[in-house]
């Protein structure tokens, strides 16, 4: 199950269906009898006819299957664990609600994410709050809501929380364990030189001082440690090293160990991330070995719950061939709906939904519509004879796409559509031009 969930789609595939073998598309995606891409039982062309482009399209079953894969991976090891949906990856109310239904907890990193989690009906005790610069208002909001844990990030925050709280609150200390996995620099967070958490660079370092400080407090009830070493990680060894480092700080008070998120996903067909099961296995074994059986293990997956469940559908507006140089295929979105290629140089696949089964034999660069030369979604994509009016799909945009979307160039942000058994449900509507002026005073 976990194996299948981690590597992608295809039940009910037609013979010779190239979609069924894809590592990047949502579970259950297929080439349908009309030759179109189908996600969650919905024909992409029908879908965009009804809802327009660009649009974020998710297979609801895929989201649920990944949540279950996490749960089952813990159960298989005889522990419930606590699985926190790292909601920064996909902060849509419907996603919070879906993961609450699947028995997950949630991590929020701002008052806004806390607000959405509460609006979605999350039990406050299952909400845990991060942030390297929480404001007074956010700390008070979290305390009043009665959230599970506040994850403390700095000495200033310890002081601030102590000053503000008038009743005891459970807290974890965020530690940077000095482990640097191989991923993009912007998404490593576990090294000493980081804006997050307390360092362990010089032996136990500042983390030990923070623990001492919290233990001496009347209002901060220190119950555990937290470390998140980074994102889009394909190796498992760094997690083991990070947990071993946390062990140096352990004490009687340590009931909870939160080992963060970070499991990588397949953005391209060549990517082969570890399975959810392998990832949970390493984290559970590591915590048990270092902290014993008594502590509760928390994990915070973001991308690995949602990235491959979603695609973005665009309409091609222009095809510009520069003889001897390259061909630009321009779509009606870009860096305003997917910032990752510009922020991290991330690679994506692309396909034409109209001819999903045809040989992708044309080499092009997929550009957005924004006033930036760097607004390139996929450099050197192979597409099946792209033409104006075609629907172009970029898979694996379910994480940090909707989350990082902007109104750059006055574009309206796309809708989010959940598909299941051929039924499409708009869970976030498309912005309107009136939304663009709604905040004017
Ligand atoms: C503290 C924390 N936990 C969890 C996550 C989720 O990481 P990922 O989406 O790589 O699983 C992040 C991502 O930035 C994070 O900062």
What burial class does residue 8 get, using C-beta atoms within 10 Å of its C-beta: 0-12 exposed, 13-18 middle, 19+ buried?
buried
pLDDT tens digits, residue range 72-111? 999 999 987 999 999 999 999 999 999 999 999 999 999 9
Segment 143-166 mean pLDDT: 97
Beta bridge partners, 428, equal 416
The encoded tokens of residue 160 equal 């601030």
Counted residue by residue, the chain has a size of 441
Alpha-carbon dihedral sign for residues 141, 144, 150, 154: positive
As a whole number of angstroms, the distance between CA 173 and CA 24 comes to 36
Kindly state the percentage of the chain with pLDDT values over 70: 93
Position of tokens 């990030």? Answer: 153
Measured from the Cα of 261, ligand 1's closest atom is 11
The encoded tokens of residue 190 equal 């576990």
pLDDT of 181 higher than 80? no
Strand extents, DSSP E, 87-154 = 105-108, 127-129, 149-152
Query: Does ligand 1 lie within 6 Å of residue 303's CB atom?
Result: yes
pLDDT of 9 higher than 50? no
pLDDT of 355 higher than 60? yes
User: Residue 337 region, left (φ>0) first, then alpha (ψ -120 to 50), else beta?
Assistant: alpha
pLDDT of 226 higher than 60? yes
pLDDT tens digits, residue range 369-419? 999 999 999 999 999 999 999 999 999 999 999 999 999 999 999 999 999
Segment 162-170 mean pLDDT: 96
pLDDT at 19: 87
As a whole number of angstroms, the distance between CA 285 and CA 262 comes to 17
Residue 419 Cα to ligand 1 midpoint, Å, equals 26
pTM: 0.94
End-to-end CA distance of the chain: 53
As a whole number of angstroms, the distance between CA 228 and CA 262 comes to 7
Segment 130-137 mean pLDDT: 97
pLDDT tens digits, residue range 247-266? 999 999 999 999 999 999 99
Answer yes or no: 419 catalytic.
no
Domains (range + CATH), the chain: 2-60+307-437 (2.40.37.10), 61-306 (3.20.20.10)
| Protein residue closest via CA to atom 16 of ligand 1 | 228
Q: Which of 66, 87, 89 to mutate to test the pocket of ligand 1 (most atoms within 8 A of CB)?
A: 89
Proportion of the chain in helix, strand, coil states, percent, rounded to 5: 30, 25, 45
Distance set, CA 422 to CA 18, 32, 38, 41, 414 (Å): 20, 12, 9, 4, 21
| Protein residue closest via CA to atom 13 of ligand 1 | 231
Query: Does ligand 1 lie within 6 Å of residue 398's CB atom?
Result: no
pLDDT at 1: 35
Residue 60 Cα to ligand 1 midpoint, Å, equals 21
pLDDT band at residue 180, thresholds of 50, 70 and 90? confident
């Amino acid at each position: 199950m976990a194996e299948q969930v981690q590597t992608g789609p295809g039940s009910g595939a037609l013979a010779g269906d190239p979609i069924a073998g894809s590592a990047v598309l949502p579970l259950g995606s297929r080439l349908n009898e009309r030759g179109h891409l189908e996600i969650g039982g919905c024909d992409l062309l029908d879908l965009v006819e009804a809802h327009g482009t660009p649009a974020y399209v998710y297979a609801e079953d895929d989201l649920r299957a990944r949540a279950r894969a996490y749960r089952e991976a813990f159960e298989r090891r005889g522990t419930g664990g606590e699985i926190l949906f790292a909601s920064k990856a996909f902060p849509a109310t419907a996603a919070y609600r879906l993961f609450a239904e699947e028995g997950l907890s949630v991590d929020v990193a701002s008052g806004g994410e806390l607000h959405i989690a509460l609006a979605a009906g999350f039990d406050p005790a299952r909400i845990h709050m991060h942030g390297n610069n929480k404001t007074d208002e956010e700390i008070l909001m979290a305390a009043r809501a009665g959230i599970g844990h506040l994850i403390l990030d700095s000495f200033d925050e310890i002081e601030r929380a102590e000053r503000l709280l008038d009743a005891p609150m459970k807290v974890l200390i965020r530690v940077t364990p000095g482990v640097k996995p191989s991923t993009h620099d912007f998404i490593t967070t576990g090294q000493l030189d980081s804006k997050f958490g307390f360092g362990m660079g010089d032996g136990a370092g500042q983390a030990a001082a923070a623990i001492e400080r919290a233990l001496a407090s009347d209002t901060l009830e220190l119950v555990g440690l937290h470390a998140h070493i980074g994102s889009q990680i394909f190796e498992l060894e760094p997690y083991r090293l990070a947990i071993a480092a946390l062990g140096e700080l352990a004490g009687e008070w340590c009931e909870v160990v939160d080992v963060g998120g970070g499991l990588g996903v397949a953005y391209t067909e060549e990517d082969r991330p570890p399975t959810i099961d392998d990832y949970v296995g390493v984290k559970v074994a590591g915590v048990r070995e270092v902290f014993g059986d008594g502590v509760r293990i928390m994990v915070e997956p973001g991308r690995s719950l949602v990235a491959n469940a979603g695609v973005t559908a665009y309409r091609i507006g222009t095809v510009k061939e520069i003889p001897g140089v390259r061909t630009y295929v321009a779509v009606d979105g870009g860096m305003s709906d997917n910032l990752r290629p510009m922020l991290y140089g991330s690679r994506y696949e692309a396909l034409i939904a109209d001819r999903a089964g045809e040989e992708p034999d044309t080499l092009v660069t997929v550009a957005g519509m924004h006033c930036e030369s760097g607004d390139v979604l996929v450099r050197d994509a192979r597409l099946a004879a792209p033409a104006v009016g075609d629907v172009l799909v970029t898979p694996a945009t379910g994480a940090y796409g909707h989350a990082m979307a902007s109104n750059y160039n006055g574009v309206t942000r796309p809708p989010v559509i959940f598909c299941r058994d051929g039924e499409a449900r708009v869970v976030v509507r498309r912005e309107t031009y009136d939304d663009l002026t709604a905040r004017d005073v």
